[in-house]
Structure 1
Amino acid sequence: MSTETSVPPPRMSKLGAVDSALMDVLLSEAPIGFALLDSTGRFQRVNRTLAEVYGCDTAQCRDRTPAELLDRDPDRIAHESAVAAVLSGSGTVHSEHRLEGGPPDASGRPRQWALSWHPATGADGTVEGVVLIAVDCSDRFSAEVALRRSEERYRSLLTATNQVVWTADANGDVQEDCPDWRVITGQTAEQYLGRGWLDAAHPDDHEQVARAWTDAVADRTTFDEIFRVRTQSGDFRYYRSRAVPIMRGDTLMEWVGAHSDITTQHDADDMRQRLTQQLGEAALRTVRLQKATSDLAEALTVSEVVQAMTEIGQSAVGADTTTVGELDRDNLRLHVLRDDSAVRVPGGRVAAASAQADLRVAMETAVRERRPFIAGNPAELRELVEDDPEVLAFLRETDERAWVALPLLSAGQPIGALRFTFSAARDISDEEKVFLEALAGQCALALERAKLFEREHRTAEALQASLLPEDQGISMQAFYRSGTQHVQVGGDWYDAFPLPDGRIAGVLGDVMGKGIKAATGMSRVRNALRALAFSMPEPADVLTGLDRMFDATEGLDQVTTLVYFVLDPETGQIDLSNAGHPPPLVVGENTEPWLLAAEPDTPLGVSSERGHHKFFVQPGNTVVLYSDGLVENRKRAVATGLEELVTVASQARPEVVGDPQHMLQYLVEGMLAGYEQDDDVTLLAVHLPVLDTAPE
């Protein structure tokens, strides 16, 4: 028996047979689900659409309750509760529950059905059954799911990025509560609303943020500020607040914004900036150390080292004063090279005079403990010295506010101390401490080089001075200045000695090169020349003999030039031979200076016939022999230098002309002024004094 014949159709007395048939077709074939349940809650009629949702055919649904057709408890409960409500007179029931079933949709997902139950009444108005209508809401359900999923993702994104969404009206006042923000700040709703959210900003940031928000509201422009926010715990975190105006045409509707916690990013940026700054400072310290090393390498003497360190202390360290101290050989006295003062060290400890009370704690500790002494401010200094009365008195009188002293070590042993003072408190970082220790190491090396330089200088001066005869009726003076930064003894030399016949022999020469090789070559030539001069004193014969010696003992690369002369003090006659050397200069008291313009022969060792030149020098005149370092350098050719030499000599005052020592100093200062010395400078002056004549 079919449903149509077994169940009396609803009362449709006003419909004709055709209309009734049409209604049956519509209910049977419509895409919506339809069912009729009797007063016992059993299906009496179910169309095909709804039967497919239940997973059976229409015949299987008849006389069965929904609970008997449904597998899932939520579906059974939803049907039973709705049927019971309609039969009890509650009227139409629209269920929030969605029934899943039927053929899948186009995407292959199960269809979702919205259910509504309606009362079926008799003629007297009593409820005799329930009409169930199921409408396919799959598209709407999918949209709701997508919307819900999007909202969940959005909220998850906000949570993951530490963002709090907030809104404000067109006037910039917050009207809606934001619990997430209040959880962070600890504000109440009343404190938060309006513009109270700004009160959570750090006091130093509040005015700026409030002004920026007011300007953005007035101009209808994007608000974007970074500021610190006070949290419930009392700490401050960095937030970025950004809000945009929502416009509808020309009308501002509201503001929508987000607070983003950027504390981690801010800390990372701050760390990156600090690292960048530290790297930049490290690079700058490296450049400064290289510059300091270069400057110290150019310092020849101890005084030049002190001068260089003073300049380095100002430019590279920023110190107001720089002091270099040197220990004596017994390590008992510390000589402060800046002012040549000395400090006594009782029992082997560096002590300080009362005027240098701070020196005791700074340089003494650095030398004794072989480690840096650092006091960044007076309080640190007082703590280090345990309130020493002398230091306290010193602090009351000085403008110094920070002190650094470092030991100067050579082969691990102290040779002195380096001290910097500052007029403002100074925080010495570990990186700067390493830089200062490296600087002290370079200073120690420079000080050692300078001490060696000065020892060699004194040795060379004593050696050169011993070569001049003391009294032969003439006056002789010599001058020597090294042109090298690292070796004092070079290839320039001079010599003068009396001959058996009463004449004076003199020579000034230049062996190419510097150091031991040049010095030993110079020694061999000098000794050979003396030996030859006593056996055959004439200049041409001496140079010829030197040529033979040179071929036998010296290498082809050993270039040597010299001027050798023999002077008769009684007549003023000079016999001279020149082996490739600049010509001698003659300076007279009453005449213009001139060069003994004899054509020079070749340097020693180059085979040629040696020339012999004869000149007469008047009493009161001075003959000056010199090396090429006086007239030639990188910026001046030899020919130009010779012309300038005559010009400078012509401008000498009479008292200078008559004093060979002053004459040599005058020539050196005049010729080297404005030029960088790059070669040794050696001069030998022979002065014939004016003899007093006896009255007739």
Structure 2
Amino acid sequence: MNAPHPPKVAGIDSTVPTPAHTVPPTPPAPGAASVPAPHTPAPGALLQDRLAGWVSDLTTLHELTERLAGTSTLDAALQELLRAGAALVGARRGLVVLEPGDGLGPHTTIGLGLGRADLGHIETVPRGSLPYGELLDTAAGLPGGNGQTGESVHPDLFAEDGLDPRHREVAARLGYAASYALPLSTVAAGRLGAAEWLYDEPAEPDERRRHLVGLYVRYATEHLARLLEVERTRACMATITEELLPSRLPRVAGVQLAARHRTGPRGGGDWYDALPLPDAALGLAVGSVTGSGPSAVAAMGRLRASLRAYAVMEGEDPVAVLSDLELLLRLTEPARSATALFAYCEPALRKVTLAGAGHSPPLLIGERRTEFAETSVSAPLGMLACWEAPSVEIQAEAGETVLLYTDGLLHRTGDPMDRAFARLHSAAASIPRALRRDPGAIADHVLRTVLPAGLDAADREEDVVLLAARFD
């Protein structure tokens, strides 16, 4: 069973060599007439060939399902499903339509060997006339009691009398003449969608290929159901987090604001805020709650709401604001700690008074300087019996930007903290002059420069927050 196999297409239709232990034929007796003997298979050869075929098929399914199991995102799994299915049924192109039966989404259509324009042409065909539409809109695509579902076979589209004219036109335009479709449905997962493969010439998979692709699609459906649940959870956490953060930034004379936020897949506790205060002042805050997931997001929302109240009452004294916040955290969230930075800005004077609790110092970005503000070193909130640290003042010049950020920006780089700080400083110093008038462009440049090569992707664990304030 471990003997090497000759090359095969998708692990099926392989030629099995004659076993080495087959008994050789008996040589004819001397002088006997040479009479061709009827061909009879050696004892057990037929069974061995059949067993070898089964082993080859199982090996193929094992390899394909392992590759599918290695995918961690919904898009990657759908692409792998299309590629493996095309190899199993002997097709070159295909598409998969994700349309969960519970109506909760997400809904998407992905093609193999088909561009967006091609998919657009296919979508102009009446849905009920398409093979995947037949499966999605009828009972054929619903799982039965044994988990089996129907299939849609069109071995020669142009020979069908009842083919929809628009379908005939699109098939001729795209150059396919046959199709084979299967629903993505099981009893456990329900109906998730359908997959369809297209043939350039009239064709259909034989019984063996149908059996193999049916087993593969059944496994793929279960894998897609798990990824779909993860995708929905991520989207839900991202929505909740965004709803707990400012929907828009305030407009205050003398200062321009911009914020950027990246949420990890499980949802984190990083937050930011900007709120107008009495006497034409402005309060800016960034912070991070320990942990991740729903509990951390909820704690972040409570902490941010409390800080807003303290800022309105005593925002001109950032130390008092953070002291009150520390007391609240210690009494209501004894198992948590948090970092925070609060800045009281007076735009008319371009003056910033700030205090930080275990938080990284803000970065001052201007034409003549790019430097970190000198802030006192202090413990995070909730780490000491009583928190208090002196505040510092920053005098900004016209056109300078104060950049606040959370530690996730530094942690995502994977570098030691000293190198991460150097990387951030270098990114800020390299901002082109044409971008320095726009705080949003400044934040985007810093993100692209500090977090290149996928470090800014949504599947990274750490949250990232940037809050930029440019003084006129």
TM-score, length-normalised on structure 1? 0.54
Confirm or deny: 8 A CA contact 1:367 1:416 kept in the other structure: no
Does the alignment pair 1:469 with 2:267? Answer: no
TM-superposed CA distance for 1:360, in Å, is 1.0
Confirm or deny: 8 A CA contact 2:189 2:222 kept in the other structure: no
Does the alignment pair 1:175 with 2:31? Answer: yes
| Aligned partner of 2:322 among 543, 559, 576 | 543
* Equivalent position of 2:67 in the other structure: 288
d(CA) in 1 for partners of 2:86 and 2:327? 60
d(CA) in 2 for partners of 1:640 and 1:573? 30
Confirm or deny: 8 A CA contact 2:150 2:182 kept in the other structure: yes
TM-superposed CA distance for 1:548, in Å, is 1.8
| Aligned partner of 1:593 among 366, 370, 386 | 370
Q: 1:71-470 alignment to 2 at 5 Å?
A: 167-168=28-29, 174-176=30-32, 193=33, 196-197=34-35, 199-200=36-37, 230=38, 236-238=39-41, 262=42, 264-291=43-70, 295=71, 298-299=72-73, 305-306=74-75, 308-314=77-83, 317-318=86-87, 320-327=92-99, 337-338=109-110, 339=116, 353-354=124-125, 360-368=130-138, 369-370=140-141, 371-375=149-153, 378-379=155-156, 387-388=162-163, 390=165, 391-393=167-169, 395-397=171-173, 398-399=175-176, 401-407=178-184, 414=191, 416-423=193-200, 425=203, 426-427=205-206, 428-447=209-228, 449-450=230-231, 453-454=234-235, 456-458=237-239, 460-466=241-247, 468-470=249-251
* Equivalent position of 1:92 in the other structure: none
TM-score, length-normalised on structure 2? 0.77
Secondary structure at 1:337's aligned position in 2? strand
Confirm or deny: 8 A CA contact 1:467 1:494 kept in the other structure: no
Q: Deviations over 1:591-631 (max 9, x none)?
A: 23111132331100223431211111112111111111111
| Aligned partner of 1:685 among 460, 468, 471 | 468
* Equivalent position of 2:288 in the other structure: 510
Secondary structure at 1:578's aligned position in 2? strand
Q: Deviations over 1:421-444 (max 9, x none)?
A: 355754433132121132134335
Q: Structure 1's 400 and 661: CA in aligned 2 closer, same or farther, altered over 3 A?
A: farther
TM-superposed CA distance for 1:468, in Å, is 2.7
d(CA) in 2 for partners of 1:329 and 1:237? 54
d(CA) in 2 for partners of 1:432 and 1:405? 9
More helix by share: 1
Q: Deviations over 1:363-413 (max 9, x none)?
A: 3334422134343x734x578x65525355555451465433424679765
Q: Deviations over 1:83-107 (max 9, x none)?
A: xxxxxxxxxxxxxxxxxxxxxxxxx
d(CA) in 1 for partners of 2:429 and 2:407? 20
Confirm or deny: 8 A CA contact 2:354 2:393 kept in the other structure: yes
| Equivalent pairs, count | 421
Q: Deviations over 1:634-684 (max 9, x none)?
A: 731221111111111111112221111111111111111136443111111
Greater relative contact order: 1 or 2 (C-alpha under 8 angstroms, separation 6 or more)? Answer: 2
Confirm or deny: 8 A CA contact 1:310 1:322 kept in the other structure: no
Secondary structure at 1:496's aligned position in 2? strand
* Equivalent position of 1:638 in the other structure: 417
Secondary structure at 2:377's aligned position in 1? coil
Q: Structure 1's 504 and 314: CA in aligned 2 closer, same or farther, altered over 3 A?
A: same
* Equivalent position of 1:207 in the other structure: none
* Equivalent position of 1:40 in the other structure: none
Secondary structure at 1:285's aligned position in 2? helix
RMSD after superposition? 3.6
Confirm or deny: 8 A CA contact 1:320 1:420 kept in the other structure: yes
Secondary structure at 2:40's aligned position in 1? strand
Unaligned runs of 5+ in 1: 1-160, 169-173, 177-192, 201-229, 231-235, 239-261, 300-304, 344-350, 690-696
d(CA) in 2 for partners of 1:165 and 1:329? 65
d(CA) in 1 for partners of 2:291 and 2:63? 38
d(CA) in 2 for partners of 1:290 and 1:334? 20
Q: Structure 1's 539 and 392: CA in aligned 2 closer, same or farther, altered over 3 A?
A: closer
| Aligned partner of 1:663 among 420, 427, 442 | 442
Query: What letter is aligned with 1:682?
Result: V
d(CA) in 2 for partners of 1:516 and 1:315? 37
Q: Structure 1's 519 and 431: CA in aligned 2 closer, same or farther, altered over 3 A?
A: same
Secondary structure at 1:501's aligned position in 2? coil
Confirm or deny: 8 A CA contact 1:504 1:567 kept in the other structure: yes
TM-superposed CA distance for 1:308, in Å, is 4.6
Does the alignment pair 1:522 with 2:300? Answer: yes
TM-superposed CA distance for 1:272, in Å, is 2.6
Confirm or deny: 8 A CA contact 2:189 2:221 kept in the other structure: no
d(CA) in 2 for partners of 1:524 and 1:357? 48
Confirm or deny: 8 A CA contact 1:593 1:646 kept in the other structure: yes
* Equivalent position of 1:560 in the other structure: 338
d(CA) in 2 for partners of 1:400 and 1:464? 53
Q: Percent of counterpart pairs with the same letter?
A: 23
Q: Structure 1's 336 and 531: CA in aligned 2 closer, same or farther, altered over 3 A?
A: closer
